[in-house]
Chain A
Amino acid sequence: MVRQTIILPVLLATAFNVTAAPKPEAVTTLQAQWAQSATQQPFSAKRGAELWRKDGIVQKGNVVRCTTCHGEDLSQQGKHARSGKVIEPMAFSANPDRFTQIKKIKKWLKRNCKWTWGRECTAQEKGDLIEYLVSQ
């Protein structure tokens, strides 16, 4: 009986928590750093999702967004708009290697915010975007 009372809640918790995999350490570390400079709200996956689809600058006659290269479905591979290079899925659930290296996250956020929006992202935006991607 004692054992059951322990096991049941654990099982239930596992069953309902399948989608909420723990955040990689790199993400918690970075978000803690960004939270210090971002005075605004807690990071939100919902805002991140909006940013992910937000119109960026015009490149070669086309408005670009994150989805221009990463595709509409985060669990699928994307394709770079210019080079055609295959980009592995961004969804953390589909690609557990994602968001595990601080250096790599910082590098690509810097490059791709400039590519897509023509400027670096704010700490709030970075935190929201990663919150969204990790939740997928």
Chain B
Amino acid sequence: MKRTLCTAALAGVLGFSAPLTFAGETSWLDWVISFDRKKEVEPVTDATWLEECGACHVAYPPGLLPARSWEKLLAPSALEDHFGENAELDNETLNAIKAYALAHAADNSIYKRSRKVMASIRPDETPLRITETRYIRRKHSEIPEKYIKRNDKVGSLSNCDACHSEIQNGTFDDDTVIIPGVGRDWED
């Protein structure tokens, strides 16, 4: 009897504690029951994130980098030199977007692409650019330079939304990719 209890308790801990750490997105039960397998990346819903980050570039979903990366990118004064640009924010706004980034970072996400991004980063690495992570590089490695870098309408891999037409839904699926000047048939 005692043994059964122990086993049950252990199973409970193993079964529940891990998924419960994915706080803030969905409950474990919802996740198990849902038919939506959270295949993509969690879409950005935070108004401040959309407004502040989206003022200069696409509001990158926090689920594309680990929490330790966001911690560094959004450290006090870090935004004064944000890849060569001054993007400084008042403390209140900075704290708000940082809290959002950390809660929804790749390592805190149950979304499949976020897990894949995480799996491609070594524990001792803190990437500051999404485009430098192995997963993102691998995913784009076969796309010719003329479609991205030498494409005036794209220019850089960091302009996700130039081609990913449904980024606002967190969707990066091949079927949603429309390359400017090439269209949907870019795979041919």
- Please report A residues at the B interface, Cβ cutoff 8 Å: 80, 82-85, 103, 107, 110-112, 114-115
Contact = CB atoms under 8 A, between A and B. Distances in A.
Closest 4 CB pairs of A and B: A111-B86, A114-B86, A115-B86, A85-B56
A80 B159 CA distance: 14
Interface residues of B, number: 11
A80 B55 CA distance: 11
Contacts of B57: 83, 85
A22 B130 CA distance: 45
A82 B85 contact: yes
Given A80-B56, A83-B57, A85-B56, A111 B84 contact: no
Interface string B85-103: 1111110000000000000
Contacts of A115: 85-86
Q: Is the interface of A mostly helix, strand, loop or mixed?
A: helix
A111 B155 contact: no
B90 A82 contact: no
Given A82-B84, A83-B57, A85-B56, A107 B155 contact: no
Interface in B2-34: none
A111 B88 CA distance: 7
Interface in B66-111: 84-90
B157 to A, nearest CB: 13
Contact of A107 (B84, B89, B159): B89
Contacts of B88: 110-111
B152 to A, nearest CB: 9
Contacts of B159: 84
A110 B88 CA distance: 9
A107 B155 CA distance: 28
A112 B86 CA distance: 8
A84 B155 contact: yes
B94 to A, nearest CB: 11
Nearest to B92: A103
A101 to B, nearest CB: 10
Interface in B152-183: 155, 159
A80 B86 CA distance: 13
Contacts of B90: 103, 107
10 contacts: A80-B56, A83-B56, A83-B57, A83-B85, A110-B88, A111-B86, A111-B87, A111-B88, A112-B86, A115-B85
